[in-house]
Structure 1
């Protein structure tokens, strides 16, 4: 088998495994949990805690996952993480205690974090330097689509009884079959094919972590509160949910074009450009009038917010050797998760203090300012060191 064909098989298997797992771990998990817990008479606050638990787990266990990946390797860790999540779905319908579900949800979050960190680091380490942006772009696009398609699993399994949990566990079991295939065909990267960045080492990781945080904060807060803002403008019932979907669509569909741009232009100044773009479009939203204009600005905002994590991954890939990529991606996972927690909190405060339109714009622009100033400060410290 030719080298190019082996590489294609390996990359396809890694991407397919992460995307299939994402349909359940991100797409189907939340809707299934809220419905199942509601049927059990659990109040919404406890349901929200259980649904949020996996992301809190991700923030806490990133360092442990780096140790596991170094000890056992990314392929084995990926399989273990996906199978752990699969087992968790089988335990949910067996155990009746609500607080036990919280513990199972945390365990599922650990499995998700292992798959996320090890899978992404392995993918970046396998991809050749000349096509890294395109590979990451395809991966992030499919990851976004997987999160959107995931709930459709419940259309086929239903939301009651054992069937939906068994269906989710079965999908994850299929995802666990693919890493061994990828490991069989993956090739070690030559020293000449290692990536190199104008910002090296710890400075690059700081910039990338900041980008992941800004992306997580902006994306998480906008996705959560856009329906509220659209409702305030009285655009109509269906437009409320359409706004959130359009925001997600923008963040998904523009990943690949942005990644091609990153391959051709280089990644050094794109974080600053993305931050500046977020500031501009965020300040336009409050003064935009008309349904079509508002929705166009929402689409552009989603596209910009979606680029931050992709840029962060490319920055780490450019700056770190293959054997350190897991640690770099773990930092990104921590930053993105922290942003996803902090962003909605900040957005809620801004909306209460400034009103819906102005609060949304000012808060998103604030995230852009954090990104712009942080990028400038980190880069300046590196140049003067």
Structure 2
């Protein structure tokens, strides 16, 4: 990186830059990158392929494999992102992720359905690269006194993808290539704000990974449980509710409600984390999701109940990731922040990858309604974790 960029942004160990105006412009540009890229890579990437397979008559097992491939690809991206950052810097890593996902979207409609796990994994791979490159860059620029709110605003913006993606699928359908083309276009559009962000030197993570895991602590596990809930719902909700007469469009609308919860709850949760602490905010997430799960298990299977429950669970599962990132972004050491962001991301993604396959196996072994039990088990795990690790 050139000397001018280094001086402008201040010493590498500082989370808040010395020259605030250019840094805030970069924060805005990087948020725009996340917003556009998330629409393609996550809003469509995590939803479109499973729903398209279900519309073509695939069973829960096949849908689960493709859904898990997305998360496993993301996990591979997170694991390899450090090498890319060292070789290409933050900007180059984000660029590689966007191009990888865009190419996968373009190629998917031409491929046989039996190999759709490959483009699904490639979309996730690109997301993992973009996630580490973009968010580490962004959080290093965030001032400590407002970090919870900045993370909350960022998660709200990328939460728009969770609403817009299913809406696009409902509008365009899954039997034509249109929605796949929108995914590729969203990844391409993210290139413009990426060019506008000012460079920042990349720094290595600390060598002691075990110590870093201990420092992340509860936050990483909260994010992981949120990922497990989210991953299973995104891939298997349509299969689980099919006996109630819901079709692909109905499922997409429920996923939109889930995404709306994820989008609208993040700023309040970030504010709560700044004022009351991340643990208190996590209790709100766990309580809301537990009540929603009880409603799903014992309540009437009406559209209002399903939509309200999806909204609450979406807000809670996305909120757990937000709170994990708030934990990760604490402190001023750039290398430690980068390491903790990677580790929260890895645990979140690894458990997200388990969700679709585990739920699919449960559906096929026990019948479709039984898919709701994995969600209850995940929520109990959140509560046990909070109690067991209470300071």
Show the counterpart of 1:215.
226
Distance 2:173 2:296 in 1: 40
1:18 to 34, 46, 54: 34
Q: Which moved more, 1:327-336 or 1:304-313?
A: 327-336
Task: Map Cα deviations across residues 309-348 of structure 1 (whole Å, 9 max, x no partner).
Answer: 1111111111573223333222222222222233345545
Show the counterpart of 1:332.
344
**SS in structure 2 of the partner of residue 183 of structure 1:** coil
Distance 1:314 1:321 in 2: 15
Distance 1:43 1:353 in 2: 16
Distance 1:177 1:36 in 2: 30
The structure whose Rg is larger is 1
Matched, 1:116 2:127: no
1:364 Cα offset (Å): 2.9
Matched, 1:82 2:98: yes
Query: Residues 187 and 264 of structure 1: is their aligned pair in 2 closer, same or farther, counting only changes over 3 Å?
Result: farther
Query: Residues 312 and 128 of structure 1: is their aligned pair in 2 closer, same or farther, counting only changes over 3 Å?
Result: same
Show the counterpart of 2:315.
303
Matched, 1:64 2:80: yes
1:225 Cα offset (Å): 5.2
Distance 1:294 1:169 in 2: 31
Matched, 1:265 2:276: yes
Question: How do residues 32-111 of structure 1 correspond to structure 2 at under 5 angstroms?
Answer: 49=65, 52-90=68-106, 103-111=118-126
1:65 Cα offset (Å): 1.1
Q: Which moved more, 1:216-225 or 1:115-124?
A: 216-225
Show the counterpart of 1:175.
190
Task: Map Cα deviations across residues 181-221 of structure 1 (whole Å, 9 max, x no partner).
Answer: 2125x799xxxxxxxxxxx9433423222111110122233
* TM-score normalised to structure 1 length: 0.75
Distance 1:48 1:287 in 2: 26
Show the counterpart of 1:141.
156
1:228 Cα offset (Å): 6.0
Distance 1:66 1:103 in 2: 23
1:9 to 13, 22, 25: 25
* TM-score normalised to structure 2 length: 0.74
Query: Residues 6 and 237 of structure 1: is their aligned pair in 2 closer, same or farther, counting only changes over 3 Å?
Result: closer
Show the counterpart of 1:195.
none
Contact 2:67 2:357 in 1 (8 A): no
Contact 1:133 1:260 in 2 (8 A): yes
**SS in structure 2 of the partner of residue 118 of structure 1:** helix
Query: Residues 247 and 26 of structure 1: is their aligned pair in 2 closer, same or farther, counting only changes over 3 Å?
Result: closer
Contact 2:153 2:266 in 1 (8 A): yes
2:265 to 233, 237, 254: 254
Matched, 1:364 2:375: yes
Distance 2:310 2:94 in 1: 35
Query: Residues 7 and 156 of structure 1: is their aligned pair in 2 closer, same or farther, counting only changes over 3 Å?
Result: farther
Q: Which moved more, 1:340-349 or 1:315-324?
A: 340-349
Show the counterpart of 1:343.
355
1:256 Cα offset (Å): 1.5
Query: Residues 63 and 346 of structure 1: is their aligned pair in 2 closer, same or farther, counting only changes over 3 Å?
Result: closer
Contact 2:31 2:154 in 1 (8 A): yes
Contact 1:36 1:160 in 2 (8 A): no
Show the counterpart of 1:377.
388
1:141 Cα offset (Å): 1.6
Show structure 1 runs of 5+ residues with no match: 189-199, 381-385
Work out the number of aligned pairs and report it.
364
Task: Map Cα deviations across residues 40-96 of structure 1 (whole Å, 9 max, x no partner).
Answer: x99677676556433212223423212332454322211222133334445557x76
Show structure 2 runs of 5+ residues with no match: 1-7, 9-17, 203-210
Contact 1:280 1:365 in 2 (8 A): no
